[in-house]
């Protein structure tokens, strides 16, 4: 409804009050601080990077520790707990927790240390298990893996591809030798098409044996152990038991701190708040005894903040006029209903100061069109009930999420309204259930539409969609006209607004009584005879004004007329804009048709217990998918009608959002006491 008026404020105070003033401003969250214009060579800035880094590091440590507590000791949650809600904390309680910050930081570090130990133990267990698996083929070996023989013998241990009998192996290893051969071959394991073996031979045939082994593809194992495989495996098993015991001990250490999880999150916000304060502190110019601040503040807060700063902190506070190249930030102020669409508006762009805030009118059309496109009473009731319960149960949700839920709550009400207007409740579910399971044989719908059924008369609904679209577009054009009148641009209002109203209304009045319109719309309009002449006057008067005044900034009349003719050709864009509102018909029909098809498929299995079970399964799945898909479609196309058609007629975004110096807590909402 309105853009909050901003006032530029300059503050000068002694450094002994610096901490208290910054904390006061941060708790108020009402001042967007700027220090770019306070560049004086006599003033210096503090280096707060080290302190800020420490605070952010502590915040991360506390947040990670709280996350680990949640991992090792999950809280029981209801379905509504999916929504992240801030915890309300009194200022005194918050300050008390902050007094014990070092204790909690120490606890958080202990939790992270325990988690680090757990990860190290798990890595050790994984290594031990891999070692045991790798030693399994060598378990029959009763000498160390590093054993290489005696003074007169050489010992080999390794593997060959393929499953080869022992006799064949012995023949391959002793090939080219004369009996008796001083060689012993022992197969240790044969599996996965690999033969693991050991070979013992006299040193006098070492070269021949090595040559034969190379010939058959012998490869030594890449084992990290040197001892006897069975002993090494036993040692690994023992280490696994030790590591698993240590893991349990460390888990107990972590779980022991579970009741502190909330405190850790509170302190995490506390440190982030301090980090934000020190970020600002590092940008503040200051002399030996005083410091300076300036920024934007809502006009309604100026008196309160000025009185506190001057009375309690003895600061010098002055209001200033903005510089020509400065742009004040934008803060919107709307009623409870309209502020629900502020997030949608912000995604397109905020209005600039001096322009109209379209939020109120946008909210009405947005909810209206959303309901027309989803248009099922049951779907609307479901959406509103879910959003209403979440809003009722969780009162400390993030503000942006609150607004979104409220928007869908209102859109659900609109959807239910249009559903009853069209006679749609899960499509034609009431009639289908009555006929399939209760023997209803009537031809009259049980739930009669309060207005009419779109499937029975789609052209009638299309005409109403066009009408609603014209109202939407004319409202946008009217807002532009209001801005021109407010800026005393009378000529622009006549040429760019009034002329177009005359031209378009004249064309519409000429079209309505024609046989062409009657054949398309199925509606007949009989105007008095004088109305035709009046319509012609409106049309040609509007056309003439556009033709002669569209190029009013140019002195060359020929150029003016050319530009005017081009603008008149722009009436085709109005036609495409109006036709764009046919999506209200298309999406509304799609919701109803798909819902009816789901009901029809579910009823194909007949009545009775088995048919009821199948019907319920198909009904729940089909309508859930239909609701989700068309909910997304209604949201997207409602945005499109606002952004492209409505805003295209008047809206010029470009406002910068108001970003006050505040706490910006992630997990808590501090209940501030009244400052006095």
pLDDT digits (tens, 9 = 90+) for 399-437: 899 999 999 999 999 999 999 999 999 999 999 999 999
Q: Report residue 672: phi and psi, to 5°.
A: -75, 140
- Residue 81: pLDDT above 60? no
Taking the C-alpha atoms of residue 313 and residue 321, their distance in angstroms, rounded to an integer, is 24
- Residue 675: pLDDT above 60? no
186-225: pLDDT as tens digits? 999 998 899 999 999 999 999 999 999 999 999 998 877 8
Distance in Å from the first CA to the final CA of the chain? 32
- Residue 82: pLDDT above 60? no
For each of the domains in the chain, give its residue range(s) and CATH number, in order of start.
2-99+258-320 (no CATH), 146-222 (3.30.70.2750), 338-488+577-654 (no CATH), 492-569 (no CATH)
In sequence order, which residues have a C-beta less than 8 Å from that of residue 155 and are 6 or more positions away? Answer: 143, 147, 148, 149, 198, 199, 200
- Residue 167: pLDDT above 80? yes
Taking the C-alpha atoms of residue 304 and residue 491, their distance in angstroms, rounded to an integer, is 43
* Cross-sheet strand order for the sheet of 6-14: 32-34, 290-298, 6-14, 316-320
- Residue 80: pLDDT above 60? no
pLDDT band of 606, cuts 50, 70, 90: confident
| Structure tokens that stand for 559 in this block | 């150029």
Positions of E strands within 269-385: 290-298, 316-320, 332-333, 350-351
**Residue 180 preceded by cis peptide, ω within 30:** yes
Q: Report residue 331: phi and psi, to 5°.
A: -130, 125
Pairing status of strand 153-161 against strand 194-202? antiparallel
Q: Report residue 189: phi and psi, to 5°.
A: -165, 145
pLDDT of residue 472: 97
The CA-atom distances, in angstroms, between 481 and each of 327, 473, 478, 631 are: 24, 12, 5, 34
Closest CA to 372 of 451, 449, 465, 445: 465
- Residue 676: pLDDT above 60? no
| Structure tokens that stand for 156 in this block | 């080999």
- Residue 593: pLDDT above 50? yes
The DSSP string of 612-626 is HHHHHHHHHHHHHHH
- Residue 34: pLDDT above 80? yes
The DSSP string of 23-84 is HHHHHHT--EEE-TT---TT-B----HHHHHHHHHHHHHHHHHHHHHHHHSPPP--GGGGS-
User: Reduced to 3 states, what is the DSSP secondary structure of residue 676?
Assistant: coil
**Nearest-10 Cα torsion for 32, 38, 42, 48:** 30
In this structure, is the dihedral angle defined by the CA atoms of residues 420, 421, 427 and 432, taken in order, positive or negative?
Answer: positive
The CA-atom distances, in angstroms, between 673 and each of 28, 94, 669 are: 11, 12, 13
- Residue 674: pLDDT above 70? no
| pLDDT, averaged across the chain | 91
The CA-atom distances, in angstroms, between 206 and each of 160, 164, 170 are: 18, 22, 15
Q: Which helix (H) or strand (E) holds 654?
A: strand 653-655
646 or 226, greater pLDDT: 646
In this structure, of 99-103, 160-164, 534-538, 631-635, the range with the lowest mean pLDDT score is 99-103
- Residue 133: pLDDT above 70? yes
Taking the C-alpha atoms of residue 194 and residue 134, their distance in angstroms, rounded to an integer, is 13
- Percent of the chain residues topping a pLDDT of 70: 97
673 or 24, greater pLDDT: 24
- Residue 483: pLDDT above 90? yes
What is the pLDDT averaged over residues 338-362?
94
- Residue 303: pLDDT above 90? yes
Taking the C-alpha atoms of residue 108 and residue 95, their distance in angstroms, rounded to an integer, is 19
Pairing status of strand 653-655 against strand 350-351? antiparallel
pLDDT of residue 667: 85
- Residue 516: pLDDT above 90? no
488 or 522, greater pLDDT: 488
pLDDT of residue 83: 60
Cα 510 versus chain centre, distance: 49
């Amino acid at each position: 409804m309105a853009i909050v008026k901003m006032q530029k404020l300059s503050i000068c105070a002694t450094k002994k009050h610096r901490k208290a003033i910054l904390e006061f401003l941060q708790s108020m969250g009402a001042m967007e601080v700027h220090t770019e214009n306070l560049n004086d060579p006599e003033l210096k800035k503090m280096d707060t990077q080290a302190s800020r880094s420490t605070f952010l590091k502590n915040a991360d440590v506390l947040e990670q520790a709280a996350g680990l507590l949640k991992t090792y000791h999950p809280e029981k949650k209801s379905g509504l707990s999916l929504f992240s809600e801030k915890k309300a904390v009194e200022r005194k309680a918050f300050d008390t927790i902050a007094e014990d910050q070092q204790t909690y930081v120490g606890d958080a570090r202990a939790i992270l240390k325990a988690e680090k130990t757990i990860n190290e133990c798990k890595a050790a267990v994984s290594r031990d298990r891999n070692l045991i698996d790798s030693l399994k083929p060598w378990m029959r070996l009763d000498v160390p893996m590093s054993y290489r023989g005696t003074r007169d013998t050489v010992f080999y241990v390794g593997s060959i591809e393929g499953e080869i009998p022992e006799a064949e192996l012995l023949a391959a290893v002793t090939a080219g030798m004369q009996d008796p051969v001083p060689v012993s071959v022992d197969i240790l394991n044969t599996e996965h098409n690999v033969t693991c073996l050991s070979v013992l031979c006299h040193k006098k045939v070492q070269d021949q044996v090595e040559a034969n082994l190379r010939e058959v593809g012998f490869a030594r194992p890449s084992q990290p152990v040197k001892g006897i495989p069975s002993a090494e495996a036993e040692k690994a098993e023992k280490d696994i038991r030790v590591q698993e015991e240590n893991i349990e001990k460390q888990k107990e250490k972590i779980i022991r701190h579970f009741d502190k999880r909330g405190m850790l999150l509170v302190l995490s916000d506390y440190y982030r708040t301090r980090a934000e304060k020190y970020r600002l502190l590092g940008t503040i110019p200051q002399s030996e005894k005083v410091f300076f601040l300036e920024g934007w503040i809502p006009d309604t807060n100026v008196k309160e903040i000025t009185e506190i700063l001057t009375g309690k902190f003895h600061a010098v506070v002055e209001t200033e006029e903005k510089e020509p190249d400065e742009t004040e930030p934008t803060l919107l102020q709307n009623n409870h209903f309209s502020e629900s669409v502020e997030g949608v508006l912000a995604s397109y762009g905020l209005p600039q100061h001096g322009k109209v805030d379209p939020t109120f009118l946008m909210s009405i059309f947005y909810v209206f069109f959303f309901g027309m496109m989803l248009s099922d009473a049951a779907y609307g009731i479901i959406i509103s009930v879910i959003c209403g319960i979440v809003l009722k149960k969780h009162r400390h949700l993030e503000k942006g999420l609150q607004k979104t839920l409220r928007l869908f709550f209102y859109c659900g009400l609109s959807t239910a309204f249009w559903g009853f207007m069209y006679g749609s409740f899960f499509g034609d579910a009431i009639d289908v259930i009555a006929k399939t399971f209760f023997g209803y044989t009537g031809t009259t719908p049980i739930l009669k539409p309060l207005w009419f059924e779109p499937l029975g008369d789609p052209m009638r609904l299309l005409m109403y969609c066009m009408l609603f679209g014209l109202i939407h577009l004319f409202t946008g054009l009217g807002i532009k006209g209001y801005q021109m009148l407010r800026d005393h641009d009378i000529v622009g209002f006549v040429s760019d607004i009034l002329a177009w109203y005359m031209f378009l209304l004249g064309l519409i009045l000429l079209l309505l009584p024609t046989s062409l319109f009657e054949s398309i719309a199925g509606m007949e309009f009989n105007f008095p005879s004088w109305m035709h002449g009046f319509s012609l006057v409106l049309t040609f008067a509007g056309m003439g004004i556009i033709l002669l005044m569209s190029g009013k900034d140019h002195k060359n009349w020929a150029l003016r007329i050319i530009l005017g003719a081009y603008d008149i050709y722009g009436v085709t864009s109005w036609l495409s804009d109006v036709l764009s509102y046919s999506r209200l018909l298309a999406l509304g029909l799609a919701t109803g048709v798909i819902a009816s098809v789901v009901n029809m498929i579910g009823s194909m299995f007949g009545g009775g217990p088995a048919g009821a079970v199948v019907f319920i399964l198909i009904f729940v799945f089909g309508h859930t998918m239909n609701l989700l898909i068309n909910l997304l479609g209604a949201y997207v196309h409602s945005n499109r009608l606002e952004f492209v058609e409505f805003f295209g007629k008047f809206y010029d975004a470009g406002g910068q959002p108001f970003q006050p110096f505040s706490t910006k807590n992630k997990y808590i909402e501090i209940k501030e006491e009244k400052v006095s």
